[in-house]
Each structure stands twice: as structure tokens, then as C-alpha cells.
Structure 1
């Protein structure tokens, strides 16, 4: 099966101008993304006006959080020829879907992530990777952004078109992936949409400020964010809307799927997402056990762990299948980060496609190659 690589979009300049360029170059993918989220929300009983109202309620939190992000969203909308609320929807879809959900109908994206510290790798370089499990349609709506900042480190991010960030790395050596969590605190307060917090992480020159952004920014929805640094640090921050819980690597390995692990978190809140992602229990252990070999590891080992097919189609590497919500889901992308090299490898639909595209911070064109 031939699957096209995710397009690389180079951006620079002030936020609103950068947004216009982004919106114009990703307009088709933005419109496709809007279409399938509007359809999903319609199944939950929200018509276009209700969706617009839900998106508009997010605008105040976005503006208060970062004027630059707000300006970039306005620019994206102008460039793509859509309404500002449409781009807000793409950035706040987790929050809006969760507030609109009925039972498991709007179950959020999955994901399995892992970090290998230098002490665990053959060449002493930190490795960070993730499978992003979500709607199959997103293979045609995601992009890679390479952004040159006037003030701050340049960065690469893989995201849904119109979104500000999902996973990625920056020139300061910071890596980021994120995976879904749910709790009984979700939807109890207004917060900042998750892609904006992830963008703040990638814009940061200092790891401490990146961690601060994740820990202290109020959220509407729970989430887990895995942060790493090329010089040898990783942490998994399990975030409820109003507090977070840190998990550290063991023996140089850090793994997280879609259920809460922190004993402190489990003593304070209720995991409401595990019934919709029961495979998270063994995905977590399958990846960790495949990496905990006691021998030095390389990126092939990380990649092979994320290709694990145990329990397929409810597996670490998920082929297209219907989830409990009725949506057709899959591992949309396998993302591998090498922050010290400023390099990100991505395979779209890796269960059926094993061709990776290499995206680099140094400005070289994207390059696609099959597995060795």
C-alpha cells in the first residue's frame, strides 16, 4: 500500500503573517480536517451554530494565554479562507469533543510513547518516539511544520493541519510527545487548548520553562506529555486539568500509554478513559518489556517496539479498525525523534506502510526511505 508522506511546510516571520502562509499552504488539509470533526460533532448533536459557539468559548482562554498564538490562529484562518472559529475548533477539538461526548462515542486519541536516555542507548544519544492512534482520516490532514523563530529556538512539529503543535523537537534539544488521558475532573473548568501548551514547550529555549508551561497552565482536558532533553533527561507529566504528576525513567527507559500510572494521581482522581482504551494496559507493558533487554539500544529497537503487533488489531501498532466509539481508527503515524540531531522520522499508517520520511531542523528537504 502506498501512503504519501506528510508535507513539510517551512514558516518564519511574525505570528499573523506566518499563520497566513501556513493557512494558504495547508488549506486543503485544513478543510478536510474541519469536515470530519464537524461530522463527528454533528453525530453528538451539535449543529454548525453550536459548534461555532463551542469554539468561540475557547477564544478568550487562547487570547489570555498568548497574544502571538491568537494572532497566528487569525492568520491561519485568513490564509485558508475559513473562519477563526474553524481554526479554534481544530486546536480545541479534544476539549470540544470531550464536552460534547455521550458515553464512549467521542473517545479521544490513544498513543504509546517512549524515551530512551543516553545511558540506555548504544551511541549515547537520547531517543524519543511515539505512535499516534486516532482517526484514519488524519493521515490526509496532518502536516509537519518547520518554524524559524525571530526570538527563540527553531523547531519541528508534527500536527493536524491548522493546529499549532502536537509532537516535535527544537534547536534547544527539547523533545515532546503527548498521549491521551481522561479523568473525572475533565470539563469541570475552562482551560487552554492542548496544542497551544505544546507549542509553548517547543518555543522554549529552557527545559525548566517548558516543564513550567505544562505543569501550571490550566486545562479543560487531562493529557500526558512526555518531555525530553538531548543531554539526558526525560519526564512524563500526567496532567489533570488542575494539577500534574511526574513520572521518571527507570533504568533509562520511560514508557507511557493511555492510563494513569502515578500512585499519587490514582489516589486523587478516577481514570475515566481506560474502559475506552483497555488495550492501554498491555501496550504499556509490551513496549517496556521489548525495550528492557539489558543491552544497549538504538533507534531500530525503539522502532521495533512501536511496531509491536501483539493483540492486533488492538495493538501498539494499530491497523485500521473500528474503535468502541464507532470511528475508524489506526496508528496514524509513528514519530521518532533524535533531538541531538534535530531530526524527526515519521511513517504514516505504519501498520501498512514502513516508509519513513526524515525531517530535519537544518533546512534540508524531507527525504523518504524504506526500512533497512
Structure 2
């Protein structure tokens, strides 16, 4: 098993307009950002840098200017604060797409271990002991995110003129966000998907937005409806699964491909929903045009194990039992709680360099975050809130 991890990821607080807070973010995490960039540039998981820059400019820059100019300004601030080029920061925010592009180009020997997994869940009020709404996930990716201290918990307080509520996002240093929650009670988590619609050619003059930024656009939204419209109406060229929820008492799972959005909901009876890395919605199964491209493996049981763990505590799920459900080791080391196999046992894993680098739980009702660095089975949790109080939790 992976060694016990007791430290926390850096909690980075930024304030102000997009460029100002981006610059602060870049200054506070400069070493982490440069380390992250150097990995993607120099480890062989991507084509040569000139080719990557051309790809970024042909696929993303026009779309950023058209659909998310504030995000582009924030990335320019990050670049200035960390002393790197804007293309470097766009690379970090599009690495989900970039690794799939490399896979498409048959640079497979080093890419396979970089494709993230993840398993997530949401529980609405009928499922929880105190009637709270909980959403969270295990973040599974290459172990370097954990070992090299690349993860950060970003707390953003936008300028008052933006009319954007404060928010938290767990992410890689230099990215605008991955999973998150805002002070209005909106939450989002995501899991990787592959489909037959994924494509990597610049087929429009406008281009596409990286999936990471769709998550951030949702969290910056004032209401659930606005967030859903923003997230689903911008062009994308790869697939992803999103679970979004509101403290008001609703959640939706969206299996998104470049041209489709297949929806599913927690059942009215249980108000529990889980997902991993394969398409499973009734809408997707009934469709005749899009095919899933995920290879089978632990994704076929991780979501079921998580659901089973939660339903064992239903209807009295609380934050502790919600967390406990993510500690499941069926199929170890390729379990819901993902571990690096012991030396000499690499053959027992389909992804021997991947592990759960974090477990995060958002209590949308209380507007609090519980974050564990590393696997939930042996990590230490800290709780964060918008009042800047931080509590250690055993």
C-alpha cells in the first residue's frame, strides 16, 4: 500500500479581478506551476513543443477570446505571475485534451498512465441523516500529482463588479479548476470518458474550449440553470462526465460528448447517484450514433461499489459515512480507493503508476469542503469554509 500521507495540499487564496487574482495565483504557486509545465513538456507524453503551441493556437485561443475572455485574462495573469508564456498555462488547462490528442497520435507508451480515472457520487437530502446535499469524488491520476505536491485547493474571491460568488476548486497548479463548490451552493465533479465522437482536428474557425474550463464556468454561475446552460452550450471536442448539484436539492449527471449530452438523475426514491469512467445512462444506451471508447477494467465496478457503500448507510448518510464509502478496496490495487502496487506486483494493476491523489467532499448545504491528500483510507482530512477557518479532522 501507499505510505500514509498526513500533509495537506496547498490552500491558495486569491482575490480581485481575473488578471489580478491570476497573477497572485501564479506568484503563490510559481514553483509548482513550472514543475507541472516541465513534466508535460519534457516527459515525452506530448509531441514536440512547437507542434503543441500550434495546436493550442489553432484549437483554443479563438474560443477562449469568444466564449471565456475572463478566463483567458486570468490565465494571462497566472502566466505573468509565474514567469511563463500564456501557451504554457493554456497547456495546463487543456492537458485533458492534450493527452488524448497524444493518444490519438499513437504516443501511447507514456500516455496511458497519465489518463485520469476518478469515481464520484452525490447524495441529496432524502439520503442523508441531516437532509444535507453531499457531492464528492476520488481523484485518480498519475502519482506525481501527489508526490510532487502539484495539487492545490484554490479559494477564489472575485471582484464585486463581476457578480460571481466566492468558490473553492481542487486542481493542478496552474489550472483554473477541476472539482469545486461556490458560495451559492453549486457543486461539480468530473470523470474522464472516451467516445467515438472525440476528434482532434480544427474543424471550425472558432475552435473549442478545454473541458477544465467548462467546470470553472459552471462554478462561476449564479444559479443552477445558468451554470448548466453555460457548460453545455460551448464547443468541445472530447468527452467527459460531469455530476453537478445544488444545495437547493437537485443533481444531474451529464455524459458529454462533442455533439451530445446524455443525462441521468438520482432516483426519486434513493436520491443517490454514482459514476466512474464508462457511459451508462439510459439515454446513451438507447442512442444509435455514439459509442463509448473506454477500455473495460475497474470502471465497471467502482461506481457500483461506491453506490453499495452509500446505500448501506441510507437514509442516514453523513459526511463520515460518505467518506468511508470511498475507501473500498475490492479489486485491489485497481480499486475504488486506487493504490500503487507493491514492487514486483505491477502485473496486478492496469495502471501501475496511478493512485488516488485526493478525496474531496463538498457539503453544499453547509458550504464546506473536506479534503484528504492521498487515499481516503490512510489520509488526514482538513475542512475548509468561506470564513477562512481550517480544521483538522481525524
Aligned partners of 1:242, 1:26: CA distance in 2, in Å?
36
Runs of 5+ consecutive residues of structure 2 not aligned to the other structure:
none
Query: Corresponding residue for 1:65?
Result: 67
Do 1:319 and 1:349's aligned partners in 2 also have CA atoms closer than 8 Å?
no
> 1:230 Cα shift?
0.9
Do 1:258 and 1:274's aligned partners in 2 also have CA atoms closer than 8 Å?
no
Report the RMSD for the aligned CA atoms in angstroms: 1.9
Aligned partners of 2:273, 2:107: CA distance in 1, in Å?
31
Report the secondary structure of 1:340's partner residue: coil
Moved >4 Å (runs of 4+): 321-327
> 1:174 Cα shift?
0.4
Aligned partners of 1:2, 1:196: CA distance in 2, in Å?
29
Aligned partners of 1:167, 1:318: CA distance in 2, in Å?
18
Query: Corresponding residue for 1:179?
Result: 191
Using the size of structure 1 for normalisation, the TM-score is 0.93
Q: Tell me, yes or no, if structure 1 residue 346 matches structure 2 residue 347.
A: no
Do 2:247 and 2:365's aligned partners in 1 also have CA atoms closer than 8 Å?
yes
The structure 2 residue matched to 1:355, chosen from 380, 386, 389, is 380
Do 2:126 and 2:315's aligned partners in 1 also have CA atoms closer than 8 Å?
no
Report the secondary structure of 1:261's partner residue: coil
> 1:302 Cα shift?
1.2
> 1:289 Cα shift?
1.3
The structure 1 residue matched to 2:223, chosen from 206, 210, 215, is 206
Query: Corresponding residue for 1:312?
Result: 332
Q: How does 1:115-154 map to 2 (within 5 A)?
A: 115-139=122-146, 140-149=149-158, 150=160, 151-154=163-166
Q: How does 1:1-372 map to 2 (within 5 A)?
A: 1-40=4-43, 42-44=44-46, 46-57=47-58, 58-101=60-103, 102=106, 105=109, 106-107=111-112, 108-139=115-146, 140-149=149-158, 150=160, 151-188=163-200, 190-250=207-267, 251-266=270-285, 267=287, 268-275=289-296, 278-293=297-312, 294-321=314-341, 328-350=353-375, 353-364=378-389, 366-370=390-394
Using the size of structure 2 for normalisation, the TM-score is 0.88
Task: Please list the CA deviations of residues 189-235 of structure 1 after superposition, one character each: whole Å capped at 9, or x if unmatched.
Answer: 54210121111111111100111122222212100111011121111
> 1:352 Cα shift?
6.3
Change (3 A) 1:359 1:79: same
Change (3 A) 1:352 1:115: closer
Aligned residues: 365
Aligned partners of 2:56, 2:355: CA distance in 1, in Å?
26
Runs of 5+ consecutive residues of structure 1 not aligned to the other structure:
none
Report the secondary structure of 2:320's partner residue: helix
Aligned partners of 1:184, 1:237: CA distance in 2, in Å?
17
